Structure formats: structure tokens, C-alpha cells
Amino acid sequence: MSEPVRLIKKYPNRRLYDTKTSAYITLGDVKDLVLKFEVFMVVDAKTGDDLTRSILLQIILEEETGGVPMFSSELLSGFIRFYGSTMQGMLGKYLENNMKTFVDFQQKLQDQSRTIYGAADNTHLQTDFWNQFLNFQQPAMQSMMTAYMDQSKKMFQSMQDQLQSQTRNMFTGFQDKPEK
């Protein structure tokens, strides 16, 4: 049986209260929960609104400003441009699926590494492998994304053209006739 979702309450004074440990915690503590794969939910103590995504975005913001950023300004600008567009939902699902694939691949690599080299820490070998993999992968991914975006653009344009054509055909019988 799975454990219930860990509840963290956020109070108006911006403090986070972990109901499991009955103690106030920091964003760093929430980050540790994420790293430990703990299932939790952050809610507004007053309204009960779900604030989990907001807290996770705060952690990402701190990570991005605190050290070596993961996201370039160009990539973040691209994300912003997708908000409100017809592709917004598709991009989110695409990124989610790719992240899952990446994590699964990393887990398989770690398992294989343990099998081949034993239970010792193989971080150095994995880092070298990932560097080689990503150096190869980057041009391939750029090419694939360019083709995907071109195809999506053509498909969207085709859908718009079809809708315009269908609308014209539907309203051809309603032409304005001058009154006598």
C-alpha cells in the first residue's frame, strides 16, 4: 500500500510547514524531498489552493540563479513564446515524455554500469559517457526539432486553410442580397 501524499502548508508569512514532521521547512528541504522521490503537495494554509507547481518553480529559479544554469535565455524565451499558442499543450507533453525517456535511459545506463563494473561508484564513467552521448545527440536533436517544427507549422497552416475553405463553403448560400 502506498503512503499518503505528504502535505506541506504554506502560510501567509511565506513559511512552509511540513505536517508529517510537524516542523517548518525551507525550500532546500522541499528540494531534498524531490531528490528522494517523496510524493508531496504544497497547499495554501488559508485557501487550500494547490501551490506545488509554484514552489517547484521557485526551486528551479533558485537553482538557475545560484550556479550553472540549465536553461539558456534563448530556451526560456522560446518557452514563453509557446504560452497561449496552439502548440502549448503539445510542447508540455513533448518535454514531459522526453524527460521521462532521458531518466529511463539514465537508469538503464546506471544499472548496466553496476553490472559491468560492480557496485562501486561509476560516476566518472557515466559522466564521460553522457558527455559523448550528448555531443552526438545535440546536432541530431536540433535537426529533428527543426524538422518537427517545420512539419508542425505546415500541418497547422493546412488545418487553417481547411477551416477557411470549410467556412467559405458553409456560408456561400448566405450571400448578401440587396433589398428591393
Over residues 123-172, the pLDDT tens digits come to 666 666 666 666 666 676 677 667 777 777 788 788 888 888 888 887 77
Give Cβ neighbours of residue 87 (< 8 Å, ≥ 6 apart).
152, 156
Q: Looking at residue 147, what is its pLDDT? A: 74
User: What tens digit of pLDDT does each residue of 77-114 get?
Assistant: 888 888 888 778 888 888 888 888 888 887 887 777 77
CA-wise closest residue to 57 among 39, 78, 71, 74: 71
Q: Residues 29, 63, 113, 93: is their CA dihedral positive or negative? A: positive
Please say whether the beta carbons of 55 and 30 come within 8 A.
yes
Q: Looking at residue 165, what is its pLDDT? A: 84
- Residue 38 has phi, psi (to 5 degrees) of -75, 140
Biggest CA-to-CA distance, the chain: 93
